[in-house]
Amino acid sequence: MRLMLIGVGRLKAGPERELFERYFKRLADLARTSGISGVDLREIEEGRARRPEDRQAEESRLILASLPRGARLALLDERGAALSSTQWASEIGKARDSAAPAYALVIGGPDGLDPSLRGQAQSVLSFGAMTWPHQLVRVMAAEQLYRSLSILVGHPYHRA
């Protein structure tokens, strides 16, 4: 199984990108020892339509087109479930153990995610009820994916 992090928009140069890259590299390095065949980052262009609903629909089509058939789809959304790191690791482990080709975590754009995409997702997760800047969400997602794999392999990074 591959881990995919799909984000609408581009992460610009700066301290957030440097921190993201640090955790993403750790994630890629740990993936090899945890039954994950690799990690991918896909940046989806922001929609160009005038109406937010049309932008969301356009972005949703691009997100779905980037997924391999049978991928497990997880969305980040402030209305999603707030899982513990251990619970999320368990979800990723179950996807891996069920031979899913990919586990794709999606971060929406400024307008959020299309409701139809929520309907197709196997899980909708939240980093809390607050709205977070896109740059920080990418960092937190990379760190939590790394933490999840460290939990799955018994690496001492996660001490709870």
Q: In whole angstroms, give the CA distance from residue 99 to residue 70.
A: 10
160, pLDDT greater than 70: no
> What pLDDT band is residue 25 in, cutting at 50, 70 and 90?
very high
In the CATH scheme, what is the homologous superfamily, with its name and number, of domain 2-153?
Answer: SPOUT methyltransferase, trefoil knot domain (3.40.1280.10)
pLDDT (mean) for 23-50: 94
Share of the chain above pLDDT 90, in %: 84
The structure's pTM equals 0.94
Question: Tokens representing 82?
Answer: 């707030």
Single out the residue of 49, 66, 41, 61 nearest to residue 110, CA to CA. 49
The predicted pLDDT at position 144 comes to: 97
Per-residue confidence (pLDDT) for residue 129, from 0 to 100: 87
As a whole number of angstroms, the distance between CA 111 and CA 53 comes to 8
Categorize the per-residue pLDDT at 156 as very low, low, confident or very high, splitting at 50, 70 and 90.
confident
List, for residues 37-67, the tens digit of each pLDDT value.
999 999 999 999 999 999 999 999 999 999 9
